[in-house]
């Protein structure tokens, strides 16, 4: 009988044991086994953060290479009151089910509000209160919400002290966006004229994080946005 490497048990004891799979393996045991086998922390234990990964690295006798680099934001910032709702939906109360028939909101791009993303988040970083909120401090960047959202509203963004983003995904012309949402991006381009890190594509504003130089200009763009769809969260 082959004896199990004792380091596997040691690593398991420091892992949070939520078996989220964010590390790329099926669960904590599989991660511990492969970490010992390859003497590598791979992506690291995302829920565990720096403290857990330093402990795992110490057990393996290697330098800790873990670094939280990205988080997610939800590109729909409209509250229930800001979304126009004239559709009647009486189907299964899931975003996936509602999206198949258009859901109850008139916007074909916006959040359907049934919380499929909340159910799959392994660390409870996503909440729903009139709109979706992502707690950046809790978010581990595992991408489960990115994969589950039928309207592809979650976007990976680089982690920084201040995270600006456009909280809208509507690609329709501004006049049509206004008909279905008070918060939606109307593609006016004001933000792009204030800061070159913003750009327009298919009637929708985006932020190129690689081009950000002055955060003060991002704040100006946020304040000048006529529909207030540029959001800021502090990490």
Question: Whole-model pTM?
Answer: 0.86
Which percentage of the chain shows pLDDT scores above 90? 83
In the chain, domain spans: 6-60, 70-234
Mean pLDDT value across residues 27-37: 95
Structure tokens at 60: 């393996």
Mean pLDDT value across residues 61-68: 92
In CATH terms, the fold of domain 6-60 is 3-methyladenine DNA Glycosylase II; Chain A, domain 3 (1.10.15)
For residue 43, pLDDT beyond 80:
yes
Mean pLDDT value across residues 87-107: 90
- Give the pLDDT of residue 145: 97
Class of domain 70-234: alpha beta
- Give the pLDDT of residue 87: 82
């Amino acid at each position: 009988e082959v004896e199990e490497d004792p380091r596997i048990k040691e690593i398991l004891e420091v892992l949070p044991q939520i078996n989220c799979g964010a590390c790329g393996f099926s669960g904590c045991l599989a991660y511990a086994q492969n970490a010992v086998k390859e003497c590598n922390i791979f992506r690291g234990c995302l829920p565990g953060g720096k403290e857990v990964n330093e402990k795992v690295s110490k057990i393996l006798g290697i330098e800790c290479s873990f670094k939280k680099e990205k988080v997610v934001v939800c590109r729909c910032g409209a509250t229930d009151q800001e979304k126009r709702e004239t559709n009647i939906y009486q189907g299964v109360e899931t975003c996936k089910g509602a999206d198949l028939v258009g859901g109850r909101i008139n916007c074909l791009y916006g959040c359907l509000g049934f919380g499929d993303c909340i159910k799959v988040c392994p660390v409870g970083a996503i909440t729903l209160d009139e709109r979706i909120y992502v707690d950046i401090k809790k978010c581990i960047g595992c991408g489960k919400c990115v994969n589950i959202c039928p309207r592809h509203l979650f976007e990976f963004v680089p982690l920084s002290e201040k995270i600006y983003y456009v909280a809208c995904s509507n690609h329709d012309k501004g006049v049509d966006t206004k008909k279905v949402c008070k918060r939606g991006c109307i593609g006016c381009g004001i933000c792009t004229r204030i800061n070159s890190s913003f750009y327009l594509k298919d009637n929708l504003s985006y932020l190129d994080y690689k081009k950000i130089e002055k955060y003060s200009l991002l704040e100006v763009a946020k304040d000048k946005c006529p529909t207030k769809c540029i959001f800021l969260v502090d990490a």
